[in-house]
Structure 1
Amino acid sequence: MKQAILLSTLLLMTACSKPKTALKAEITAPISYEFLVGTYTDSLHHGINHLYFSPDENLMTVQTIAAGIANPSFVIASKDGKKVFSLEEEAGIKGGRVLSFTRNPETNELNLIDQDDSEGDHPCHISLSPEEDFLILGNYSGGSLTVFKVDSLGQVDFVQKIQHSGKSINPDRQEGPHVHSTTFDPEGKRVLVADLGTDKIYVYDFNAQNNEPLRLAGEYPMTPGDGPRHLAFSADGTEVLVVEEMSAVLDVFGYEKGVLTPKQRLSLLDEGFKGTVGAAEIRVSPDGKHVYVSNRGEANTISVFGKKPDGSYTRVQNIPSGGLMPRNFNLTGDRKYLLAAHQASHDIVIFERDSISGILSLTPWKANVHKPVYLHRLPN
């Protein structure tokens, strides 16, 4: 009996001492997204903001990371997120300013390293060349575009200015040229410039080796009174989609080596809509199947367009933007969400996006921000 008890005890001790297979708990970081936010300012406390959004944490925060800048209405970053370029949308003897910063991705701290005059009043748009060695500013009130060389440290030096001339049919908005955006084509060999004041898209050849990198290659008139504002390329680069601010229209053009060919014209407005409009921003989903366009004025909508099998576009949704004056919006890197910035209601709201249909659904996430007007997605 004693032997049986001893054997049982030994078996129990052996079982207890046998190493157990460790269960490895995989610790995954919460899904999160980061954006730089450009704003209009009314105080030295306002400026460039950083937005953090994590649906996993049910968290959305905004903090000012560069205060005391006058109207940094457009802000972009280098591909690695370590250099940031912005502007001061101001007027003066030499226009506004272009600003360059270094950014610490860990703390989001911005340090100003250089600035230069824009050489044109109210710069409102910046484009960065594919090699990140040139910046092009669109000066709205100045009716011009200016080119800056960017060195390896992020310092900027003026190299070229191009002054537009002319006008269009609206005496209040189109009394002279108003350059609203400058966009490199997918090859990086050309820059397309939307001029609201002259109702034209200008195509410039771009050669980084020349002392003056831009040379006019063509001009394409829009419908009089359209007021072209921003544009985007289709996913395959064979189309240019232009937002017409004053007519609230999406114009689709075929594109080949700098040549634009009209293809389709679509309204952002529901049938019977009466009121003021102000079409603003455009984004194309990476798969090329959906196009998103914002409209301000009394509309305050985001329009969703889908691409049909025959290659044409059709509007699949017109949804309230969730605030007042949706000047700008952007998609998260995985395209699961769309963030819309509202200048007049001082907020940024978040939509969930259906990847198949492209349809948007407003979520409860919302952040209060003073006059947000641009959202630049940072790398994760």
Structure 2
Amino acid sequence: MGGTVGTDRAARAFIGSFTTEGGHGVTAVAVDEENGALVALGSTDAVANPSFLAPSHDGRVLYAVGESSDGTAAAFDITGPVPSLLGEPVPVDGAGPTHLALAAGHLVTANYESGSVTALAIRPDGALDRAVSVLAHHGSGPNPDRQREPHAHQVLADPSGRWIVSVDLGTDSVRVCELARDGALRLHSEAALRPGSGPRHLAFHPDGQHAYVINELAPTLTVCRWDAEGGQLQPLGETPVVEDGASGEIHPSEVVAGHDGRFLWAASRGHDSLAVLTLDEGADKPRLVTTVGCGGQGPRELTLDPSGRRLYASNERSGDVTWFDIDTATGIPVRAGSIAAPAASCVVFC
């Protein structure tokens, strides 16, 4: 467990959680930069189900989705010890927002239930304004239980800052969009992935020329080439994220790329594991090295700390955040500690 953290060597992070499952909402934690330990400072449940968070570039404001059928997004002032609402939560004009990102002076949300992406205006003080535009996804996939309609699961800016990328589990595709200065979203291109794979999240390689899509409905990672100039994503193939013979329900949730581009890590629920993939044969040829336990159950999110030396698994079902030291030679995570965090869904650093 995390111990006492000296303020002279502490950074801060924030844990998001599902309040409807017993989570505390948004929890501020101190981070011991020497050993990675987390210590809770305080929390707020002012927004229901803040399942994903994103800090502003200056580290003064924290943005959250409110993952519910009447989806919202909210801004928190984080200059004090405990996050406090900065203005009222605003509707995203979409249902079940699961992810968000800052881009082009706007906050963009991925709305899972309605299968859409929303751009929200940001006021000068960092508070959120109204939804400026909503881009609806269209299509379906072969899985009758999970892919009857679009399900936008993640949205993020590409490394060049020119494009918005949205990953859709329901349509087995990744969309590339333009976001104008006035907040207007326009579809630029769409990359089709293997039918039934159920893409969930994407991570870019540090070289800015490759991307990796974790698939929730198949325990694989889709390797892609990324053309920032043309705004085109080209799938190249799939790589497993669990060993041959793994059985039971396996639902991968997140992929993370190392800062130096040598390794990838992927979390899988059901299997409750963290996969280690090496890129020693090239960024387009990831190879599964091994898997290790996630330290709990149901790793919904996996986060690399700013130093690139530690991984944090948000284990939703067991209600904890577990951190791991990364072996610099092998990339293998070694469990180092954990903190209780009911219904944990993500960790972000400021």
Q: TM-score, normalised by structure 2?
A: 0.92
Partner of residue 205 from structure 1, selected from 158, 161, 178:
178
Report the CA distance shift for 1:250/1:29 in structure 2 as closer, same or farther (over 3 A).
same
Match of 1:48 among 19, 26, 29: 26
How many residue pairs match? The answer is: 341
State the 1:261 CA deviation: 2.0
* Gap runs ≥5 in structure 1: 1-27
Distance in 2 (CA, whole Å) between partners of 1:310 and 1:328 is 26
Instruction: Indicate the residue corresponding to 1:330 in structure 2.
Output: 303
| Runs of 4+ with >6 A deviation | none
Structure 1, residues 201-256: CA drift from partner, whole Å, max 9, x if none? 11112322xx4532111111111111111101110100111011110211111111
CA shift at 1:96, angstroms? 1.2
Which of 219, 238, 244 is equivalent to 1:271? Answer: 244
Query: Aligned runs of 1:109-258 on 2, under 5 Å?
Result: 109-129=83-103, 131=104, 133-156=105-128, 157-208=130-181, 211-257=182-228, 258=231
Letter in 2 for 1:69: V
Q: Which residue of 2 aligns with 1:9?
A: none
Give 2:96's aligned amino acid: H
Q: Take 1:295 and 1:57, find their aligned partners in 2: how far apart are those partners? A: 25
Structure 2 CA distance for partners of 1:161 and 1:59, relative to 1, 3 Å: closer
Contact 1:37 / 1:373 at 8 angstroms: preserved in 2?
Answer: yes
Separation (CA, whole Å) in 2 of partners of 1:45 and 1:281: 20
Moved more, 148-157 or 62-71: 62-71
Per-residue deviation, 1:345: 0.3
Q: Distance in 2 between matches of 1:264 and 1:136?
A: 29
The residue identity in structure 2 corresponding to 1:225 is G
Where does residue 305 of structure 1 map in the other structure?
A: 277
2:58 to 80, 83, 99: 80
**Alpha-carbon separation, structure 2, partners of 1:336 and 1:308:** 18
* Structure 1 residues 261-280: Cα deviation after superposition (integer angstroms, max 9, x where no partner): 22231011211111101111
The question of whether the paired residues in 1 share the 8 Å contact of 2:121 and 2:183 is answered with no
Once the two structures are superposed, the pairs formed by residues 27-42 of structure 1 within 5 Å of their partners are: 31-42=9-20
Measured against aligned partners, the alpha-carbon deviations of 1:119-170 in whole angstroms (never above 9, x if no partner) come to: 11111100111x5x11111110111111112122113221101111221100
CA distance in 1, matches of 2:20, 2:331: 36
Distance in 2, matches of 1:207 and 1:357, equals 42
RMSD: 2.0
Q: Distance in 2 between matches of 1:316 and 1:43?
A: 35
Task: Return closer, same or farther for 1:35/1:180 CA change in 2, 3 Å cut-off.
Answer: same
Distance 2:123 2:26 in 1: 23
User: Are the counterparts in 1 of residues 86 and 126 from structure 2 also a CA contact under 8 Å?
Assistant: no
- Between the aligned partners of 2:36 and 2:235, the Cα distance in structure 1 is 45
What residue in structure 2 maps to residue 107 of structure 1? 81
The Cα of 1:44 is off from its aligned counterpart by: 8.8
Indicate conservation of the 8 Å contact 1:46/1:68, yes or no. no
1:42 alignment partner, SS class: helix
TM-score (norm 1): 0.85
Deviation of the 1:107 alpha carbon: 2.2
Measure, in 2, the Cα distance between the counterparts of 1:290 and 1:30: 32
Larger radius of gyration: 1
Conserved 8 A contact 2:217-2:252: yes
Taking structure 1 as reference, are residues 282 and 184 closer, same or farther at Cα in structure 2, changes over 3 Å only?
A: same
Inter-CA distance 159–169: structure 2 relative to 1 (3 Å threshold): same
The separation in 2 between residues aligned to 1:248 and 1:44, in whole angstroms, is 29
> What is the alpha-carbon distance in structure 1 between the residues aligned to residue 340 and residue 242 of structure 2?
28
CA distance in 1, matches of 2:44, 2:143: 38
Residue type of the alignment partner of 2:15:
V
2:3 aligns to what? Answer: none
For residues 282 and 31 of structure 1, do their structure 2 counterparts lie closer, same or farther at Cα, with a shift above 3 Å needed?
Answer: farther
Match of 2:289 among 286, 304, 316: 316
Residue identity in the other structure for 2:112: Y
What one-letter code is carried by the residue in structure 1 that aligns with 2:90?
A: D
Q: Distance in 2 between matches of 1:139 and 1:34?
A: 28
Aligned counterparts of 2:208 and 2:301: Cα–Cα separation in 1: 22
Question: Percent identity among equivalent residues?
Answer: 27
User: Is the contact between residue 30 and residue 54 of structure 1 (CA under 8 Å) also seen in structure 2?
Assistant: no
- CA shift for structure 1 position 60: 3.2
Deviation at 1:58, TM superposition (A): 8.7
Q: 2:36 touches 2:323 (CA, 8 Å); kept in 1? A: no
3-state SS of the aligned residue for 1:114? coil
Amino acid at match of 1:256: D
Q: Which amino acid aligns with 1:270?
A: E
Cα distance in 1 for partners of 2:321, 2:23 equals: 19
Q: Structure 2 unaligned runs (5+)?
A: 1-5
**1:174 and 1:196 in contact (8 A); partners too:** yes
- 8 Å CA contact 1:65–1:110 kept in 2: the answer is no
